[in-house]
Amino acid sequence: MTIARLGDIDLTNLSLPDVLQIMVSSSGKSWEEVASTCGWSPSNYNRIRDPKDDYWPTLPKLASFCVACHSTLLLDWLFAQVEMGAVELDFDAMDCAGLIESMGHLFKDMGGVAQAGQKAIHPQGEQGSSISQAEARKVIRELVDVINECNAAISRLRPIAGKPGDRW
């Protein structure tokens, strides 16, 4: 396992604003609640969330943000950027052909999840009506493939979509 991977999830395909959004969403708190804990004003956290604004929180506030979100995903992402040799902030915008190709990969990966899941729940599976360790690991590997494909698509759609967390 390399530093650039959290388990098998490739963190090099996520932008900083997307990592922060994942952390806030996973915390069960709103941006406003997390920002308040960190001592950030609305203008601060809006700049931090904006993928077009190269504005980073200060180091002490990064620790506060991780505590507020109960997550070290940001630190794992930073390790991934270090291993890669630079912080990648600019991803090429996806075009229509890229979207079709990305969706094809995603559907293929989802098919792998469905097949592994179907095998695991089939009464003639390794454990009968229980899920075996090998079956659970297979489903997890297939789900990680889906996560990686989604992260790659998100990073290429972000230049078009705007800030993470914006409501559509």
Q: pLDDT (tens digit, 9 = 90+) per residue, 5-57?
A: 455 677 877 777 788 888 888 899 988 999 999 998 888 888 888 767 777 78
Pair of tokens at residue 56: 């980073």
pLDDT, residue 25, reads: 86
Domain locations along the chain? 5-84, 96-161
| pLDDT of residue 2 exceeding 60 | no
Which residues, at least 6 apart from 29, have a Cβ–Cβ distance to it below 8 Å?
Answer: 68, 69
List the CATH code of the domain at 5-84. Answer: 1.10.260.40
Tell how far CA 51 is from the center of its chain.
15
Mean pLDDT of all residues belonging to the chain: 79
* Mean pLDDT for the stretch of residues 50-66: 81
User: What single-letter amino acid sits at 107?
Assistant: F
| pLDDT of residue 95 exceeding 80 | yes
**pLDDT tens, 96-131?**
888 888 888 889 889 988 988 888 887 665 656 778
pLDDT, residue 65, reads: 92
- For residue 77, count other CB atoms closer than 10 A to its CB: 23
